[in-house]
Amino acid sequence: MRKQTQLVGAEKLMLSDVVTISRQFLRSVRIDTDIGREDALSGYICQGTAISLLESMAHQITETRQRAFTWTGPYGGGKSSLALMLCSLVGAQTEIRTKAKQLLGLPEGSLVHKVFEAKGDGWLVVPVVGKRADVAHELSAALAKAKSLPASRKKQPDVVGELVEAAERHPQGVLVVIDELGKLLEASAQDGGDIYFFQELAEAASRCSGKLVIVGILHQAFDAYASRLGRQSRDEWAKVQGRFVDIPLVAATDEVIELVGKAINVENPPPLGEASKFADRIATTIRTRRPGTPVTLADSLRACWPLHPVTAALLGPISRRRFGQNERSTFGFLASREPLGFVEFLNGYEAQWFRMYGPALYWYCRPRSVDQDHCADRDVPQRLRLGRGGVDSGGLDPGCGRATDSQGA
Ligand SMILES: Nc1ncnc2c1ncn2[C@@H]1O[C@H](COP(=O)(O)OP(=O)(O)OP(=O)(O)O)[C@@H](O)[C@H]1O
Ligand SMILES: [Mg+2]
């Protein structure tokens, strides 16, 4: 099937002519380079799960001596975006702080505002993006950069001591965010690095008389990064993580649907006809089984067209499943050009309401690492096989199973 945009005398619009994926959702957020950039905050949508996480941290900081946290969640689940918001909320630039406050939209009396209050020059913010390297050196370099000093040349910098000293001297506070902490843990597992560094860091933060808050960002629990080490080491790692309070950052199904709807832009959509009723029916079914589901669910599902509403509703739960191993994020899937993927679907079909990317297609284009056997080519039914340059429906619409003419397929 070739992409065909012109019929005799009439323009034939393909899905790819009317559907685009918002660039906002295609870039990965990098806290160390995005901090201080107002445009990097634009488009952030603060959802209930993110608010609960910040409130939970604020409560612990107010009511206990706990100052070290880990946030654990699936790939592409918005961890770095939220970390960037937190860094921006307390950072040095007033206008960025104001923008972060607006985007977070927390109620005026929220404890988060009290705990993360910043004025004047703000807090000292130390953003680190982990890589396979020694954690003490990475943290020491990031601290020097945050203080606008040259990097330390010491072989074994006492970065924990330096952080405590910085927090005790600072009139407001020091926030250390270690994104991609898993990479540093992997380096420790591989090179026999010192895992007790993290324990020391967490304990120092809780003992410090200044405000020193540590956030580490992970995809899975500490000990899972030590899977190749022996049982005893894994137990030690789990014990070290016990010094941190772990808060999951896992968006609820309706939150994922809302974000997916925002990520899929449709210009001049065709009349959605029955597709709209599908969304209503599926939203009603979900709401019947899960009474807490927001009343706006049907609208959110409609906004996901040409994703079939069932596919849209499945993306969240699938990204949560075994998320330590599932390396394809929800937004990565929307942009992926893999066979039977969403982009191929958009290129392969005319823009008509019944062209919806259904759960069957999603199932067969899942990465091999997730469900090896089910992705084997021999298992792909004939009606879903690829034609040249697109999805060959074999006369059946792969989305809703409706019989169609084979034009454009
Ligand atoms: N709440 C949100 N509002 C707006 N955009 C979001 C939100 N959550 C995630 N995104 C977008 O989704 C993409 C992935 O987000 P982000 O990089 O923050 O996820 P992550 O959990 O850090 O991913 P990874 O596991 O790959 O590090 C980004 O393009 C980001 O802009
Ligand atoms: Mg990230």
pLDDT tens digits for 209-268?
A: 999 999 999 998 888 888 878 888 888 888 999 999 999 999 999 999 999 999 999 998
Report pLDDT for 397.
Answer: 46
Neighbour count for residue 325 (Cβ, 10 Å): 13
Check if 28 has its Cβ closer than 6 Å to any atom of ligand 1.
yes
**pLDDT over 50 at 388, yes or no:** no
* Mean pLDDT value across the chain: 85
Give me the mean pLDDT over the 74-94 stretch. Answer: 95
Instruction: Give, using CA atoms, the residue closest to atom 9 of ligand 1.
Output: 78
Domain ranges of the chain: 6-24+253-391, 48-248
Has this prediction a pTM greater than 0.85? yes
Helix axes 79-90, 48-63, angle to 10 degrees: 50
Please name which of 261, 272, 258 lies closest in space to residue 355, comparing C-alpha atoms. 272
CA distance 331 to 264: 10
CATH superfamily of 48-248: P-loop containing nucleotide triphosphate hydrolases (3.40.50.300)
Give me the mean pLDDT over the 196-218 stretch. Answer: 96
**pLDDT over 80 at 207, yes or no:** yes
Ligand number, closest to the Cα atom of 77: 1
Measured in whole angstroms, the distance separating CA 388 from the mean position of its chain's CA atoms is 33
Check if 25 has its Cβ closer than 6 Å to any atom of ligand 1.
yes
- The token duo for 379 is 């298992």
Protein residues with C-beta less than 5 angstroms from the ion ligand 2 = 80
Ligand number, closest to the Cα atom of 74: 1
**pLDDT over 80 at 146, yes or no:** yes
**pLDDT over 90 at 325, yes or no:** no
Please name which of 170, 185, 176 lies closest in space to residue 204, comparing C-alpha atoms. 176
Non-local (6+) Cβ contacts of 350 within 8 A are: 12, 13, 14, 15, 407, 408
Instruction: Give, using CA atoms, the residue closest to atom 7 of ligand 1.
Output: 78
Instruction: Give, using CA atoms, the residue closest to atom 11 of ligand 1.
Output: 25
Report the residue among 24, 29, 220 best suited for mutation to probe ligand 1: largest number of ligand atoms under 8 A from its CB. 29
Q: Please give the distance, rounded to the nearest whole angstrom, from the Cα atom of residue 103 to the centre of ligand 1.
A: 15
Instruction: Give, using CA atoms, the residue closest to atom 28 of ligand 1.
Output: 25
- pLDDT tens for 333-349 read 898 888 889 999 999 99
CA distance 25 to 80: 12
Check if 182 has its Cβ closer than 6 Å to any atom of ligand 1.
no
Check if 183 has its Cβ closer than 6 Å to any atom of ligand 1.
no
Report the residue among 80, 334, 336 best suited for mutation to probe ligand 1: largest number of ligand atoms under 8 A from its CB. 80
Check if 79 has its Cβ closer than 6 Å to any atom of ligand 1.
yes
Report pLDDT for 376.
Answer: 44
Residue 10's pLDDT band (boundaries 50, 70, 90)? low
Lowest mean pLDDT among 66-70, 309-313, 316-320: 316-320
Report pLDDT for 366.
Answer: 66
Ligand number, closest to the Cα atom of 220: 1
Most confident stretch, 20-29, 51-60, 224-233, 365-374: 51-60
